[in-house]
A and B are shown apart, each in its own frame.
Chain A
């Protein structure tokens, strides 16, 4: 199975901050990498797909990039509604696997 790791596991930030979350795959997954946001007691919501494509309806302050097996999600200016947990997920091969999550806290 492809293992996904994320760092940091949690971070504290303020409104307006630039936030970067990193995800690493245990093997080459090309750009088959998606990012999801999850708030407590809610289903995940897709933010980015194919590493760098913004899902329709998602604010442009979210962006993604890829370099080899390393991927980043950047929030350019953190907003109050962005405090949540973020997961990366590889869709290169089954079983589709997720990173352990990064909790963004105030």
Chain B
């Protein structure tokens, strides 16, 4: 069974850093790009960015709202993608989801359950 699980969400103060993890199972993790999304309380979905698989160089693309503050990395030996969040702002408060991107189509076919990040003093 394909599964993704986020972890690492917490309450942090503005300006601090936090690292989230996305762990995959039930599929060949290394073959897939992984995207991150977030959803502020009561709001819609926002794409945060993605990290491609190693066959495509493991390249990363970020939304403008997080560029230069957030970064992705992946450890395919552990089936994990990390989201490093620096210089956190109150507007980064959200549930963060990771999702697998389909191989043939740009569609997010499996999602994790989400992890809550609260940025508040």
Q: Which residue of B is nearest A92, CB measured? A: B106
Question: CA A53 – CA B44 in complex, angstroms?
Answer: 24
Taking CB atoms and an 8 Å cut-off, the chain B residues in 63-121 that contact chain A are: 63-64, 97, 99, 102, 105-109, 111-114
A contacts with B, residue count (CB < 8 A)? 24
Q: Is B108 touching A34 in the complex (CB atoms < 8 A)?
A: yes
- Does A7 sit within 8 A of B, measured CB to CB? no
Mark interface residues in B38-71 (1 if CB within 8 Å of A CB, else 0): 0000001111000000000000010110000000
Question: CA A40 – CA B44 in complex, angstroms?
Answer: 12
Q: Is A91 touching B63 in the complex (CB atoms < 8 A)?
A: no
Q: Is B106 touching A32 in the complex (CB atoms < 8 A)?
A: yes
Question: CA A91 – CA B102 in complex, angstroms?
Answer: 11
Given contacts A43-B97, A49-B102, contact A87 B44 (CB under 8 A): yes
> Which A residues are in CB contact (< 8 Å) with B113?
42-43
Q: Is A96 touching B47 in the complex (CB atoms < 8 A)?
A: yes
Taking CB atoms and an 8 Å cut-off, the chain A residues in 80-106 that contact chain B are: 87, 89, 91, 94-101
Question: CA A49 – CA B99 in complex, angstroms?
Answer: 15
Q: Is A49 touching B45 in the complex (CB atoms < 8 A)?
A: no
Shortest A73–chain B CB gap in Å is 14
Question: CA A55 – CA B47 in complex, angstroms?
Answer: 21
Q: Is B108 touching A98 in the complex (CB atoms < 8 A)?
A: no
Spell out A's residues near B (CB within 8 Å): 32, 34, 36, 38, 42-46, 49-50, 53, 55, 87, 89, 91, 94-101
Can you report 17 A-B residue pairs in the complex whose CB atoms are below 8 A from each other?
A32-B106, A34-B108, A43-B113, A44-B45, A44-B97, A49-B105, A49-B109, A53-B105, A55-B109, A89-B108, A91-B105, A94-B47, A94-B61, A95-B63, A95-B64, A96-B106, A99-B44
7 new A-B contacts at CB < 8 Å, known A53-B105, A87-B45 = A45-B111, A87-B44, A91-B106, A95-B64, A98-B45, A100-B44, A101-B44
